[in-house]
Amino acid sequence: MLDATRRLEGFCRATLGLDGPVPLHAPRFAGREWDYVKDCLDTGWVSSVGAYVDRFEAMVAEAAGTRFAVATVNGTAALHAALHALGVGPGDAVVCPTLTFVATCNAVAYTGATPLLVDIDPATLAIDPARLRALLAGWSGAPVKAVVPVHIFGHPADMDALNAVAAEFGIPVIEDSTEALGSRYRGRRCGSLGLMGTFSFNGNKILTAGGGGMVTTDDESLARRLKHLTTTARAPHAWAFDHDEVGFNYRLPNLNAALGCAQMERLGEFAAAKRRLAALYADLFADCPGCRLFRPPAFADGIHWLNAVLFDDPADRDRFLAETNAAGLQTRPCWTLMHLTGAHGAAPRMAGLSAAEAVAARLVNIPSSPWMVPE
């Protein structure tokens, strides 16, 4: 058995006292979730209209440090709506990292545009600003209409450098912050660092609404357009149904928003618990032979959505995955790189994606639920 396996198993079983299967990331409901969801049931406001939707939007806007937030049915819909609101469509390209969950590139494809894949900086796991500049400087294909940096595992990308490159080429930036609610970059909140930010509230995220997503922005006109697009583009009227363009039925049900509001009330607790867990993992793997815990640069105060271990030898990575899962500890490799998937393997890309390939061959995510550690 690898020393890394012994350490993780001992930490989860003996130190934390966790019996049975230990999930990678699971929700915990210990606040007012029951009260708020029951209120929806008691009042009959269960669908896409209700006070909890407005409240959830206001709470996420405050947490992201933006003036506006627009709720959607999931994080993929949030990113699709954001791209559509910018006018991204067929014949366009959108820069995405090859190391990301497939939803990032899928949202681009939904618009009819093409993902343009770029390599990562191993220090952040996000888009490398220098590689982005080289890609854009040499690109002669479809017009690039947006750059979508992803805050991988909740660790902020180097947004100042990325924004500077994007501004040099006149390209707007949309943050894929789906894993980074509560993360900060140089003291500024993720979701407020580009023209728009997007969030996810899936069951495995930092907090959950049972689903749900959000677009954040400081641009009032964009916020109004997003609200219109995501509510089937229905023209305002007391009773008539007229739709002035093709919109999307991306409305978030009040039931989900109620759950999200209760979870948002505990965001500070979740963030503190996740940072405690990350600190414990840093000590656990500090001198572990053949591997190290991923630690972001000093400018990143991340939420540590998923902690990650990087192995020196890919064979040890594979062995660790087998041993930990056999022991009931859910670990997983990072997602298949986009240029290696059947969905986006034909997408255009920069020459060489070696940094992402090296990381993907050696990385394992380890259990990271905030409830694992006591206060």
* pLDDT score recorded for residue 133: 98
Instruction: Give how far Cα 145 sits from Cα of 12, 84, 173, 361, Å.
Output: 46, 11, 9, 31
pLDDT at residue 164 in the model? 98
For the chain, what percent of residues have pLDDT higher than 70?
100
At 334-371, the pLDDT tens digits run: 999 999 999 999 999 999 999 999 999 999 999 999 99
> Could you give the CA distance from residue 332 to residue 113 in angstroms, rounded to a whole number?
31
Architecture of domain 3-28+267-372: Alpha-Beta Complex (3.90)
**Integer distance in angstroms from the first to the last C-alpha of the chain?**
31
Q: What whole-number distance in Å separates Cα of residue 334 and Cα of residue 365?
A: 7
Catalytic site positions: 205
Residue 375 has pLDDT above 80, yes or no: no
Instruction: Report the C-alpha gap between 363 and 318 in whole angstroms.
Output: 9
The answer, yes or no, to whether residue 236 has pLDDT greater than 90, is no
pLDDT at site 350: 95
Instruction: Give Cα separations from 289 to 7, 293, 294 (angstroms).
Output: 11, 11, 14
Amino acid 35: pLDDT: 98
Kindly report, residue by residue over 259-268, the tens digit of the pLDDT: 999 999 999 9
pLDDT at 72: 98
- What number of residues does the chain have? 375
Residues 59/261, Cβ–Cβ less than 8 Å: yes
**Residue 48's pLDDT is what?**
79
Q: How confident is the model at residue 235 (pLDDT cuts 50, 70, 90)?
A: confident
The pLDDT value recorded for residue 47 is 86
3-state SS, residue 144: strand
Q: Are 105 and 347 in contact (CB under 8 A)?
A: yes
**Of the CATH numbers 3.40.50.300, 3.40.190.10, 3.40.640.10, 3.40.50.1100, which one belongs to the domain with range 33-264?**
3.40.640.10
Q: Is the pLDDT of residue 158 over 80?
A: yes
Average pLDDT, the chain: 97
Hey, where are the domains in the chain? 3-28+267-372, 33-264
pLDDT at 274: 96
What does the pLDDT average to over 301-321? Answer: 97
